[in-house]
Copies of this chain bind each other. A is one copy, B any other.
């Protein structure tokens, strides 16, 4: 019996219209990456398990897709271990490779492995799929693309400035106006924890703070209490909930709050440099904002933290994020290489553009014309014109069978092909073509040259 076809949960087929739209977003991002001096690399879909495991925490390890070894993989497993029937312990013995979980760890591995071929600072971008064995839900998939740009090998804050500009430029180019680029700095978070006397609770403190959007001020305080942060420390956090005004105002308030913390003061200085520079140049359509509650995988970032929110009124989580991480390559043996980077969330950007109807019409790649097939001689005559049109860069096709005209017309219609070309005895004798506009129904006899001009829209 034939199998009922389906695909694994959390994965997707993309139709021609969807691929065209995804490729449009990718092309815009890629173009701006390149204008900003980033160069593409690609890494293998699977890495040695040892490269990935232990880099994303226990939860991450669990969500990494493991690839079964080939051949008689059980034959190599020790009998005693085998008898335990312990999945967790077995995995390392029957699987040596795993699917990429993000693009950052493979990038770190790449930098270390190829350090002698790379000229630092190394500005690379990478647009490839990643895989996570997460529970699938709306907008969360088991296979999805990441679009990352990172620089490694320099601590200069100019890079943070340029990343803010890059976000602004990409979203402007996509016609998505009014995104908010939220900025924070790990040093601010550390400084606050220090000042309130909760330095040892930095992670609990920031995880709670990060939830302000979702659970509100009271919720954050409740969680801090639950995590054992002292009541007087929580009281001292109070000013954070009341930060108001312009970025400069907020920085002023923070500066006062953090004046006893060296690290906090450095954080304020860094933010001030970035914000002042951006203010001087201005942004095209995005808005920069300071958000001291922003944490995004705090264990990872060491300086700037970025997150992009969709324009007001669009219910969507972050559509991009990133930050600075010192010493990422240290895990692979190359110390002292600072990196900073940002990522674009392709799937969410797609949903936002769709919701706001921002995809250009020309994104679809349907043929401009379908040549109707009336039989061998007619097809032969039509194909010759087709060849000439394609040489002019015009997408066009011949209906392969001499089916009923109605069927062929319906095909053009359903596919959204704007023109059909009819070539019968008359056309062949007179050396011209009958062009039909599928929208208006208008027909007219044209020469090959006119055909090319009309179809190319010139």
| Cβ-defined contact, A395 with B34, below 8 A | yes
Q: Which of A152-160, A191-199, A237-245, A299-307 contacts B (4 or more CB under 8 A)?
A: A152-160
Digit string of A74-117 for contact with B (CB within 8 Å is 1, else 0)? 11010000100111101100111101000000000110111001
What 1/0 mask marks residues of chain A from 156 to 189 whose CB sits below 8 Å from any chain B CB? 1011011001000100000000000000000000
5 pairs of A and B residues whose beta carbons are closest in the complex: A37-B397, A2-B333, A11-B44, A156-B400, A16-B39
Question: With a CB–CB cut-off of 8 A, which chain B residues contact A281?
Answer: 383-384, 387
19 sample A-B contacts, Cβ–Cβ < 8 Å, listed by A number: A2-B333, A3-B51, A5-B333, A8-B48, A11-B44, A13-B43, A13-B114, A16-B40, A20-B40, A32-B390, A35-B395, A36-B395, A45-B129, A46-B143, A70-B133, A75-B85, A77-B85, A82-B85, A169-B390
Which chain B residues border A51 with CB–CB below 8 Å? 3, 5-7
Dominant secondary structure at the A interface = mixed
List B contacts of A449 (CB < 8 A): none
Contacts of A373 in B (CB 8 A): 156, 158
Q: Bound state CA distance, A110 and B393, in angstroms?
A: 29
Pick from B11, B50, B74, B333: contact of A46, CB below 8 A.
B11
Contacts of A133 in B (CB 8 A): 70
**Which of B15, B63, B91 is within 8 Å of A117, CB to CB?**
B15
Q: Which of B23, B62, B156 contacts A40 (CB 8 A)?
A: B23
CB distance from A240 to the nearest CB of B (A): 30
Q: Check A46 against B8 for contact (C-beta < 8 Å).
A: yes
Partner of A3, one of B20, B71, B154, B332: B332
A388 to B: closest C-beta gap in Å = 11
At the interface with chain B, which of A118-126, A219-227, A256-264?
A118-126
A292 in the interface (beta carbon within 8 A): no
Nearest B residue to A75, CB-CB: B87
Given A3-B50, A74-B85, A331-B3, A14 and B37 contact (CB-CB distance below 8 Å): no
Chain B nearest CB from A290 CB (Å) reads 21
Whether A45 lies near B48 (C-beta < 8 A) is no
- In Å, the complex CA distance between A112 and B384 comes to 33
A65 on the B face (CB < 8 A)? yes
Nearest chain B CB to A303 CB, angstrom units: 14
- Is the Cβ of B70 less than 8 Å from the Cβ of A68? no
Q: Are A95 and B70 in contact (CB under 8 A)?
A: no
Number of copies: 2
What residue of chain B has the Cβ atom nearest to residue A62's Cβ?
Answer: B70
Collect the chain B residues with CB atoms within 8 Å of residue A43's CB: 7, 13-14
Which partner residue on chain B sits nearest A369 by CB separation?
Answer: B37
Report A8-55 residues with CB < 8 Å from chain B CB.
8, 11-16, 19-20, 22-23, 32, 34-37, 39-48, 50-51
When the two chains form the complex, which single residue of B46, B155, B366 contacts A39, counting CB atoms closer than 8 Å? B366
**Are B162 and A398 within 8 A (Cβ)?**
yes
Q: How far is the CA of A158 from the CA of B16 in the complex (A)?
A: 23
A35:B74 contact, CB within 8 angstroms: no
In the complex formed, the residue of B with least CB distance to A15 is: B41
Q: Does A140 touch B at the CB level, under 8 Å?
A: no
With an 8 A cutoff between CB atoms, is A401 at the interface?
yes
The one of B4, B277, B411 that contacts A119, using a Cβ cutoff of 8 Å: B411
Kindly identify which residue among B47, B365, B383 contacts A7, using a CB–CB cutoff of 8 Å. Answer: B47
Q: Residue of B at shortest CB range from A49?
A: B8
Chain A 422-441, CB-CB to B under 8 Å as 1, else 0, gives 00000000000000000000
| Complex CA distance for A129 and B123, rounded to whole angstroms | 25
Check B70 against A13 for contact (C-beta < 8 Å). no
Name the residue in A36, A42, A90, A159 with the highest tally of chain B Cβ atoms < 10 Å from its Cβ. Answer: A42
Are B44's CB and A143's CB within 8 A? yes
Which of B74, B77, B129, B332 sits near A2, CB closer than 8 Å? B332
Contact B94–A68 (Cβ < 8 Å) = yes
Give me 5 other A-B pairs in contact (C-beta within 8 A), A8-B44, A15-B41, A62-B70 excluded: A19-B39, A68-B94, A74-B90, A154-B400, A165-B387
Q: Verify B396–A37 contact, CB threshold 8 A.
A: yes
Q: What residue in chain B is nearest A31 (Cβ atoms)?
A: B393
